[in-house]
Amino acid sequence: MELELEFQGNAKAILWTLVLFLVLVGLGAYGRVVTPNPPKVLTWADWRFRAVQRQYTRQLAAMRRDAEALALAALLDSRPNLRTAWQAEQIAARWQRAEVLDALTGRREALVQAAQAVQDWVAGRREEEQVREVLQHALEGLSGE
């Protein structure tokens, strides 16, 4: 008994079937990683929670980056300069108009106050030690979860 298989006419269909199979296997593997343990169907509230959690993490990381940049610019220079004031002004303006989650409002205010303190230091209205304290307070607030 002989069996002949000819794939010439069905090459496209076989290729598409293989691609679809690989995509489904990939989605299944991705689903295992994303699905909480024990596996359950995520509700709309679960998805919203995950979205808010990602937004919180992104906003907190951005605030940390700005606070660290502000501290480096202000404290590495032995004298206040215009570049430091400009950077502090940009950071303060960005976070004053930014919409942040309610949980981050206090941290945002501390960052804006630190930026304004640096601006005041450059203008000669504050002492360096006061600026260090305000920056330290902002950095401590942003370093904790």
Say how far residue 30 (Cα) sits from the centre of its chain.
22
**What average pLDDT does this structure show over 41-65?**
93
Q: Is the pLDDT of residue 49 over 90?
A: yes
**What average pLDDT does this structure show over 21-33?**
91
C-alpha–C-alpha distance, residues 88 and 111, integer Å: 10
Greater pLDDT, 7 or 87? 87
- pLDDT at position 54, please? 95
Residue 13 confidence class, pLDDT cut points 50, 70, 90: confident
User: How many percent of the chain have pLDDT more than 90?
Assistant: 62
Residue 75 confidence class, pLDDT cut points 50, 70, 90: confident
C-alpha–C-alpha distance, residues 136 and 67, integer Å: 10
Say if CB 93 and CB 119 are below 8 A apart.
no
Q: Is the pLDDT of residue 132 over 80?
A: yes
What are the sequence ranges of the domains in the chain?
57-143
Average pLDDT, the chain: 89
Which residues have CB under 8 Å from 73's CB, separation 6+?
A: 83, 84, 87, 88, 118
